[in-house]
Amino acid sequence: MKGGFLLRGLDRGGLIFLAIVLGVGILVPALNLLVPPGNPFHVPGYAVSLVGKYLCFALLALSIDLVWGYCGILSLGHGAFFALGGYAMGMYLMRQIGARGVYANPELPDFMVFLNWKELPWYWYGFDQFWFAAIMVIAVPGALAFLLGWFAFRSRVTGVYLSIITQAMTFALLLAFFRNDMGFGGNNGLTDFKDILGYPVQAAGTRATLFFASALALALGFLLCRAIIRSKLGKVLIAIRDAESRTRFLGYRVEHYKLFVFTLSACMAGVAGALYVPQVGIINPSEFSPAQSIEMVIWVAVGGRGTLIGPVIGAILVNFGKTYFTAAIPDFWLFALGGLFIAVTLFLPKGIVGAVTDWTKRYRKTPSRPDPVAPKPAE
């Protein structure tokens, strides 16, 4: 019974999405590795990392959609879960540097030697093992979300107040990770990585593998979310989003449901962060900045919340625009982002995917079976 759980996500739409994501996951690295430079079909190495980064953002957006689009929890702190997953991976990568650092200390990362530390802090233990780091990538964001959710949902903190708490959380972490004595590299964060699982991080083959891993993680994340949404639990989530107190009167413990999706979502965000770090080569406290978390919510809104596919499209489109604008007209990006958000709220309240769905419905003019999960426009 439980074995077939993930397969529930595999309806036609889900299959098409999976085929595209996995297709890209194989095609892009192949065009990079197998087609010689100079050939018009060659994908340059930097583009592999860039699109790989977008895939991580897409997974992150998916995790936000699960809580916001389906359960009405507007988290403005998902950047923190993403960054914590990233730091866990970064710590593993730091320990892989070994004696190849500037100070050639086999045990301590450079920044600790620089701070005159004599031994590794206890919370760095175990991070030389990949399996340990991999567990922490999920466990640390998950534990933080569980703790925060435990108190917030039990006290029935909802709406704006919950959003503010999540912002405060990521802001507090920003300040903490900036401090040198926290032992996470302070301002500079963790960088200068050398190896991952024994392979050089920068090598073309590693880059291709990381790219594929990101596509696979996105595909699995999508499958998981879709299976959840299509289960009875998914129906309860939507009921909570639309009429929380009514759901209680049916006997559902709303706080347990919220805690479940919030924690799961944080774990997914952590995985996204962990895949992001080796591809960009650095993790620093700026990932905790409140503006970062707000930007993520905009990706979801642009793509269409409560659609799963929408946030994936939104994350990729907005970040593509960001890459383009910050290179072409750097000062313009924040205005473009703000303008985009206002435009979407005013003209596409259901985002790109919501608008397309509405449009095709009207175009066909046939009363089809309604989409039971589409949320009401903006709260």
Partner 1 sequence: MNPDLMTRTLLYLDGVSVSFDGFRALNNLSFTILPGEMRAIIGPNGAGKTTMMDVVTGKTRPDAGHVIFDGKVDLTKQDEAAIASLGIGRKFQKPTVFESHTVWDNLDLAIEGARDPASTLFHMEGEERDRIEEILGIVRLRERRYELAGALSHGQKQWLEIGMLLAQNPKLLLVDEPVAGMTDAETAETADLLREIARTHSVVVVEHDMTFVRDLGVKVTVLHEGSVLAEGSLDHVSADPRVVEVYLGR
Q: Which is nearer to partner 1, 242 or 379 (CB)?
A: 242
For residue 116, which phi and psi values (nearest 5 degrees)? 70, 25
d(CA 205, CA 32): 10
Among 257, 262, 276, 299, interactor with partner 1 by CB under 8 A: 257
Cβ within 8 Å of residue 41, ≥6 positions away: 31, 35
User: Half-sphere exposure of 335 toward its Cβ, with a 13 Å CA cutoff?
Assistant: 5
Letters for 188-227 (x = contact with partner 1 by CB under 8 A, - = none) are ----------------------------------------
Placement of tokens 């592999």 in the chain: 48
Query: Quick one: which of 42, 194, 248, 361 contacts partner 1 (CB under 8 A)?
Result: 248
Contact 44, 233 (CB under 8 A): no
Spell out, one character per residue from 17 to 56, where the chain touches partner 1: x when CB under 8 A holds, - when not: ----------------------------------------
Provide the β-strand partners of residue 283: 190
The two three-digit tokens of residue 273, written as one number: 């962060």
Q: Which of 31, 233, 340, 355 binds partner 1 (CB under 8 A)?
A: 233
* Options 36, 40, 251, 330; binder of partner 1; rule CB under 8 A: 251
Query: In this chain, which of 254, 309, 318, 348 binds partner 1, going by CB under 8 A?
Result: 254
Shortest distance (Å) from residue 325 CB to partner 1: 36
Q: Which stretch binds partner 1 (CB under 8 A): 122-130, 173-181, 234-242, 357-365?
A: 234-242
Contact between 252 and partner 1 per CB under 8 A: yes
- The first and second tokens of residue 344, run together, are 């979407």
* Angle, vertex CA 114, rays to CA 110 and CA 118, nearest 5: 85
Select 100 or 376, whichever has its Cβ closest to partner 1: 376
Asked if residue 379 binds partner 1 (CB under 8 A), the reply is no
Cβ neighbours around 290 below 10 Å, total: 18
**DSSP bridge partners of 233:** none
3 vs 330, which CB is nearer to partner 1?
3
Chain centroid to CA 96:
25
Supply the DSSP symbol for 369.
Answer: P
Q: Which residues bind partner 1 (CB under 8 A)?
A: 1-2, 5, 228, 231-233, 235-236, 238-239, 242-243, 245-254, 256-257, 260, 369-370, 372-376
